A and B are shown apart, each in its own frame.
Chain A
């Protein structure tokens, strides 16, 4: 694994006994204690994930919101400073270049967090389409990213950073911690309440050790991250999302701003708006295979013998207590309780379409405003 990049927490991972795996060119912790234990700890307490492999970027310039809106279908002009939004970079035929969080750090400043495996593709796409007056600064080596996730995350973090309790889901703010500038976003990829902490690389290990010193916090790896996001029904790029899947097909129509639908002024709008009007040919669904054996990515989905889709992610869901999967299926068969067939080791297996998420989200959302 010598040709792999490492995150600023690599030494700490080794010390904690992590088993590392190559992921998107990085040696990343797959697990420490075990995927199921880490998954359960996150749902009950607070789990610390190193997600420094993800790409952090700063986008700045007059009318940056308008420029970025050409590339994503989210309403960014209407995004308040200190707020963030989940969105997708679309291509000309409505497919997804990447999914990302765009946070507004100032009137003309945006903070982007993109997938590790898509950094190069995203940069090429952004540079090809953004006007010269919008500058793009990558923070890949400069900043690490830690995710503290779980129902006890707030109680833990407010001891270090008083004031984080005032943030709601998808709020972000800058804090100073022991002289270090931290960007704290109340967001995550587990379905639980939690925070993502962008920290200068050289301070990452100190911060991680401080968080881990709290008995409510345990480290968790990519294995638990995947089972948690799967139970939360969240898309993973390269599985549920790719250049040939539109956000409508991936169940992300909610992320397309109303004003943006009316204007249709983003890459791929023609295909995406048509799918919003007429319905997409296929949809992302939750799937429960019969029995206990997990159905894995790539498994076929059939309806009365006819191929109608495929499984995009599948694993055993520790909180659900059984196998869970996501898949793309022909749109007329996407309703909950539809019965489909798949195949496991050459034998037929019944699969039921179920509503997403498998495990309810527990985000701390801002209450309904008056």
Chain B
């Protein structure tokens, strides 16, 4: 299992060739109460850095980008009825979508948990 983070505060957990994507705890704190999530359709091909989902808090909308390229295989439909899961468990039950990686080599450019923690600290 590999866990990686992007500078835009998405995380991706990779097992085999499948990656699960969500937003980090820091991101959900910054957003505040999440009230709506727009998820990608299964089978959609996304490229690394492309907008794949939208998360709306009370105050504002934010885009969620694909950390790596791939084909979406599943979206977390629970978020449609319970968008607050993103706040409650951002790196667990509040995941957004799963994708089949096109190129596992793209993970190399992302941060591991330690590097991401240091990155977040540098922002505050």
Contacts and interface: CB of A to CB of B under 8 A. Distances in A.
Interface of A: 30-31, 34-37, 223, 226-227, 292-294, 296, 315-316, 318, 323, 345
Interface size class of B (residues with CB under 8 A): 10 to 19
Interface in B83-112: 83
The 4 closest A-B CB pairs, nearest first, are A316-B35, A36-B33, A35-B58, A293-B36
A37 B58 CA distance: 11
Contact of A292 (B33, B36, B60): B36
A293 B56 CA distance: 7
Given A35-B32, A223-B32, A294-B35, A318 B58 contact: yes
B75 to A, nearest CB: 15
B45 interface: no
A345 B54 contact: yes
A296 B61 CA distance: 9
Given A34-B33, A36-B33, A316 B38 contact: no
A279 B32 CA distance: 41
A292 B83 CA distance: 10
A227 B33 CA distance: 12
Contact of B32 (A34, A292, A296): A34
Nearest to B29: A19
A292 B35 CA distance: 8
Interface in B18-37: 32-33, 35-36
Contact of B58 (A292, A293, A315, A345): A315
B7 to A, nearest CB: 21
A294 B32 contact: no
Contacts of A318: 33, 58
A315 B59 contact: yes
A223 B38 contact: no
Nearest to B83: A292
Nearest to B84: A36
A127 to B, nearest CB: 36
Interface in B43-98: 54, 56-61, 83
Contacts of B61: 294, 296
A315 B59 CA distance: 6
B38 A31 contact: no
Contact of B36 (A35, A226, A294): A294
